């Protein structure tokens, strides 16, 4: 049973059931490379895909683990490269769009602060921070980061994030307590993934207040 409180487009189990492996690859690609995909549930989707590959969700099939461990990182890496290209072609102007229900200026500020603090390592670290992982890729292109350095960090980050979280879901999917409380663990992954976001926003606001 899916997490009923979540909107359909944020519910990992719903997305898996509806769109299958191709849909997951498109979503991971969009979240890591297209500005319109920053609100998608990448972390919980990868984790749930791992659970499914372990047989942790009754009646749901996807693909063998080895297939996921190859294709999901490739989708994440491809998304990063496209995000870099978008930022490189559009430049800083890409971040000056009007605010809307989903796009907020603070998202850009958060990514910029993260980027300034960690430099090139941001491309790896940001993989594990929702919202930041989307904007940091475009920001790297806009700031003209060396493409070879960027590509290297993108490969490292893509494998660590996509393969790591999927493998974690697969491993935990074989644990009885996880099988019995899938909704709770999936929700926990979402909550944990949002902690860095809240932390970065708090730091950014404190800096702005101090300035």
Q: Does 143 have pLDDT greater than 60?
A: yes
The tally of domains found in the chain comes to 1
pTM of the model: 0.74
**Residue range 162-184: mean pLDDT, rounded:** 79
Per the domain annotation, does 36 fall within a domain?
Answer: yes
Q: Which pLDDT score, from 0 to 100, does residue 111 have? A: 65
190 or 103, greater pLDDT: 190
91 or 128, greater pLDDT: 128
Q: Does 4 have pLDDT greater than 50?
A: no
Dihedral sign (CA 5, 133, 153, 87): positive
Nearest to 48 by CA among 111, 97, 2: 2
SS (H, E, C) 25-88: HHHHHHHHHCHHHCCCCHHHHHHHHHHHHCCCCCCCCCCCHHHHHHHHHHHHHHHHHHHHHHHH
Q: Which pLDDT score, from 0 to 100, does residue 182 have? A: 62
Per the domain annotation, does 106 fall within a domain?
Answer: yes
Which tens digits make up the pLDDT trace of 73-99?
999 999 999 989 988 887 666 666 565
Q: Which pLDDT score, from 0 to 100, does residue 114 have? A: 66
Q: Does 175 have pLDDT greater than 70?
A: yes
What is the number of other CB atoms lying within 10 angstroms of the CB of residue 75?
21
Per the domain annotation, does 88 fall within a domain?
Answer: yes
Per the domain annotation, does 1 fall within a domain?
Answer: no
Residue 86 is part of which domain span? Answer: 8-210
Per the domain annotation, does 78 fall within a domain?
Answer: yes
Q: Which pLDDT score, from 0 to 100, does residue 78 have? A: 95
Q: Which pLDDT score, from 0 to 100, does residue 130 have? A: 75
Which phi and psi (to 5°) does residue 147 adopt?
-65, -30
Per the domain annotation, does 179 fall within a domain?
Answer: yes
Per the domain annotation, does 60 fall within a domain?
Answer: yes
Q: Which pLDDT score, from 0 to 100, does residue 187 have? A: 64
What is the number of other CB atoms lying within 10 angstroms of the CB of residue 124?
19
Contact 120, 24 (CB under 8 A): no
Q: Which pLDDT score, from 0 to 100, does residue 190 have? A: 62
């Amino acid at each position: 049973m899916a997490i009923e409180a979540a909107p359909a487009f944020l519910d990992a189990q719903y997305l898996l059931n509806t769109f299958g492996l191709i849909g997951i690859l498109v979503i991971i690609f969009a979240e890591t490379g297209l500005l319109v995909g920053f609100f998608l549930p990448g972390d919980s989707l990868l984790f749930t895909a791992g659970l499914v590959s372990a047989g942790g969700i009754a009646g749901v099939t996807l693909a063998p683990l080895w297939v996921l461990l190859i294709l999901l990182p490739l989708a994440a890496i491809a998304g990063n490269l496209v995000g870099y290209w978008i930022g490189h072609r559009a430049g800083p102007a890409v971040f000056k769009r009007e605010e809307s229900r989903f796009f907020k200026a603070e998202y850009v500020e958060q990514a910029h602060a993260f980027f300034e603090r960690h430099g090139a390592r941001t491309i790896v670290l940001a993989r594990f921070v929702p919202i930041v992982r989307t904007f940091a890729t475009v920001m790297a292109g806009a700031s003209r980061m060396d493409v070879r350095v960027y590509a290297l960090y993108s490969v490292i980050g893509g494998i660590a994030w996509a393969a790591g979280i999927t493998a974690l879901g697969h491993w935990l999917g074989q644990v009885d307590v996880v099988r019995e409380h899938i909704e709770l663990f999936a929700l926990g992954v979402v909550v944990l993934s949002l902690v860095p976001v809240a932390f970065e926003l708090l730091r950014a606001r404190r800096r702005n207040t101090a300035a």
